[in-house]
């Protein structure tokens, strides 16, 4: 069985890694080659698409970090979890909820939802 918490923590680390080479290596470790990512802002596939999407989000929200406020909930090949985006110790500026599909210990698909977004 996959260490779901560890996988989700690695996923959050992808979003927080600002060094392009390190982020790209994390993307390769965390996601399958043909992984898909979909949320209300966009839809991408593959390592390049995911890496570019994350880099774009980092440019938009520079200085803010993602965190995992609670344990992921998982069964079979699925997990769901909430995330926060903001400054440590402050009220999050964005809150989201992701559902991931896991394949051989890596993320094959992300279905993202935004619960709170900046005005």
pLDDT band at 31 (very low <50, low <70, confident <90, very high): very high
Residue 1: predicted pLDDT: 54
Per-residue pLDDT tens over the stretch 74-100:
999 999 999 999 998 899 999 999 999
- Write the DSSP string, 69-114: -S--EEETTEEEEEEEEESTTS--SEEEEEEEEEETTEEEEEEEEE
Give the chain's end-to-end CA distance (angstroms, integer): 40
pLDDT band at 73 (very low <50, low <70, confident <90, very high): very high
> Which whole-number Å values give the CA distances from 69 to 32, 35, 72, in the listed order?
25, 25, 9
Interatomic CA distance for residues 57 and 79, integer angstroms: 23
| Whether pTM exceeds 0.85 | yes
């Amino acid at each position: 069985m996959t260490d779901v918490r560890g996988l989700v923590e690695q996923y959050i680390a992808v979003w927080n890694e600002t060094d392009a080479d390190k982020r790209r290596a994390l993307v390769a470790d965390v996601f399958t080659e043909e992984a898909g990512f979909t949320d209300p802002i966009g839809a991408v596939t593959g390592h390049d698409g995911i890496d570019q999407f994350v880099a774009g989000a980092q440019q938009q929200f520079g200085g803010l970090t993602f965190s995992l406020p609670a344990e992921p909930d998982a069964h079979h090949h699925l997990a769901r979890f909430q995330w926060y985006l903001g400054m440590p110790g402050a009220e999050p500026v964005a809150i989201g909820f992701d559902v991931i599909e896991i394949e051989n210990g890596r993320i094959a698909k992300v279905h993202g939802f935004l619960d709170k977004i900046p005005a």
